[in-house]
Amino acid sequence: MKIGLVYDLRKDYLAQGYPEAAVAEFDSEETIDALDRTISSLGHQTDRIGNARALCSRLVAGDRWDLVFNIAEGLKGRSRESQAPCILELYDIPYTFSDPLVCAVTLDKAVTKHLLIAADLRTPRFAVIAVPGDISNIKLQYPLFAKPIAEGTGKGIDVDSKVESPAELNRTCGRLLKEYPGQAVLVEEFLPGREFTVGIIGTGRDARVIGTMEIVIPDGSLKAIYSYKTKELCDSLVKYHPAPRDCVRDAVENLALKSYRALECRDAGRVDIRLNTSGEPSFMEVNPLPGLHPTHSDLPMIATQEGISYEQLIASIIESALKRK
């Protein structure tokens, strides 16, 4: 097949003057090179398209592909991850990963949680702070955790995200509302237990867990918070290891798979789970466009720990997408 690659390259946006933090979710050249090599090794012809704007230009010029491997995150708006899938659907071109509705829903953490609550799946109680005045209406139990409502890669999360009092909440929410204008803040009851990320491949009833990785942050000064800083410096600040095969892992994977299916994610993704005060797994976030750097991204790391090669992982994603073709 002729497979186009759609992505946001971090280097391109830095060249336009965007700061590092603004482009943290975007991909490195290493990731795109690895995808290109791997898809080519599977016997396909690849075509590097670039971001959604480049995709539009190529489509208008008459270019077409048998399949598009889409990992474009988009630049602006809470529906930015749905932009490339929308364009591809307009032109009736098959693509990998979730559709526009799922990409938009799962980027907004509050909307995601509403849907999971409706599906009777455990997630912390929460509130949405759109303006500073909303803080006085919060009726949640401290400590709380505050983060931007529609960001990834730990953006907006640091040691001050865990708040112990109304004064700290006011300070943290005020800062986030200024740093991310036009975007609300999600405030939820803090989950104090162990943290896991679960790798899933497939769609609907074919979806299956491939493995679970536990995330440990030994440095006490970081308050065990998987923040933007810890993710950027994960080699030195974070310890990753396979979750022990026990009843806790079973419960974590059960919740992750149910959440993935309830949200109708497709082809592959990652679900982040943390234990609550009672030791029960509780949903934190889902990533329907998981990072795919062969050695630094969580989903390939999970695959590697379970004996699944990078080539097998990418082949499984493509095979899942082709079932819709």
Please state which CATH number belongs to domain 125-189.
3.30.1490.20
Lowest-confidence segment of 28-42, 148-162, 197-211, 244-258 by average pLDDT: 148-162
Q: What is the pTM of this model?
A: 0.94
DSSP alpha helices (H): ranges in 91-165?
A: 100-107, 109-118
Q: What whole-number distance in Å separates Cα of residue 228 and Cα of residue 241?
A: 20
294, pLDDT greater than 70: yes
Q: Residue 188's pLDDT is what? A: 97
Note the pLDDT tens digit of each residue in 119-142: 999 999 999 999 999 999 999 999
147, pLDDT greater than 70: yes
Rounded to whole angstroms, what are the CA distances from 191 to 3, 130, 247, 298? 41, 23, 19, 21
Order of strands, edge to edge, in the sheet holding 2-6?
45-50, 2-6, 67-70
The rounded Cα 253 to chain-centroid distance in angstroms is 17
DSSP three-state, residue 151:
coil
Q: Residue 234's pLDDT is what? A: 79
| Domain boundaries of the chain, sorted by first residue | 2-95, 125-189, 192-322
The architecture of the domain spanning 2-95 is 3-Layer(aba) Sandwich (3.40)
Note the pLDDT tens digit of each residue in 13-64: 999 999 988 888 999 999 999 999 999 999 999 999 999 999 999 999 999 9
Backbone dihedral angles phi then psi of residue 100, each to the nearest 5 degrees? -55, -40
235, pLDDT greater than 90: no
Amino acid letter, residue 265? C
Note the pLDDT tens digit of each residue in 237-286: 889 999 999 999 999 999 999 999 999 999 999 999 999 999 999 999 99
Degrees to nearest 5, angle at CA 185 with 121 and 152: 70
Please state which CATH number belongs to domain 192-322.
3.30.470.20
192-322 and 125-189 share a CATH fold = no
